[in-house]
A and B are shown apart, each in its own frame.
Chain A
Amino acid sequence: QSALTQPPSASGSPGQSVTISCTGTSSDVGGYNYVSWYQQHPGKAPKLMIYGVYKRPSGVPDRFSGSKSGNTASLTVSGLQGDDEADYYCSSYAGTNTDVFGTGTKVTVL
């Protein structure tokens, strides 16, 4: 149950794209198509942005997209906006009804 590995920070200018990686193992990310991504603004509860690797919940802009290759999942935010500045966490099913979160990435809009 080790945390998934994410880069501590990522940044981009308004309108640009940023991609965040989430690296696990064959026992979590690589073993299941159950990767989700959450956005968290300071002092707020997390918000689901992506589930099932690439699916978007209703209301989430299509600027947010997810993918996976092997043991690494990725979240791409296109057309960066000021409100995208937040912490982002990936999560994956890890077997036997357990989940594991990533270490988190702080996205800064320059």
Chain B
Amino acid sequence: EVQLVESGGGLVQPGGSLRLSCVASGFTFENYWMTWVRQAPGKGLEWVANIKHDGSEKSCVDSVKGRFTVSRDNAKNSLYLQMNSLRAEDTAVYYCARDMDGDWDAVDIWGQGTMVTVSS
């Protein structure tokens, strides 16, 4: 079964750091671009960052540039999101997602999400 399982969410104070992890199974992880998407409570989806198969290319939304870093370890079938200098507005469910095979720029597999709460 194709699956993505996130972990690492929790409560953190403003200015703090958190590292999210996502373990993939059921597919050849190293062949796919991967993406992080977040959703603030009661709000819409927001694209956060993505990373190429081999980690050689990464992009992120302007609001997290300089604070968040996406990375991957293909040997461990794992995707990561290092989040520093966290702000209240970063509070959200963070989804790990797999980009579709082929150059379609769409996400076909989603994890269940992990909640990040930034509050004092």
Contact = CB atoms under 8 A, between A and B. Distances in A.
Nearest to B63: A1
A109 interface: no
A36 B46 contact: no
Contact of A3 (B35, B44, B108): B44
Interface residues of B, number: 23
Contacts of B35: 99
A20 to B, nearest CB: 13
Contacts of B88: none
Interface string A36-71: 101010000111100110010100000000000000
B61 A1 contact: yes
Given A34-B105, A97-B57, A51 B47 contact: no
Interface string B42-65: 001111001000000101111000
Interface residues of A, number: 28
Nearest to A32: B105
A102 B104 contact: no
Contacts of A108: none
Q: Which of A51, A57, A89, A93 has most chain B Cβ within 10 Å?
A: A51
Given A45-B95, A45-B113, A36 B44 contact: no
B1 to A, nearest CB: 15
B106 A48 contact: yes
A91 B46 CA distance: 10
15 contacts: A32-B105, A34-B105, A34-B106, A45-B110, A46-B110, A51-B108, A52-B104, A55-B104, A91-B107, A93-B105, A97-B50, A97-B59, A101-B47, A102-B44, A104-B44
Interface of A: 1, 3, 32, 34, 36, 38, 40, 45-48, 51-52, 55, 57, 87, 89, 91, 93, 96-104
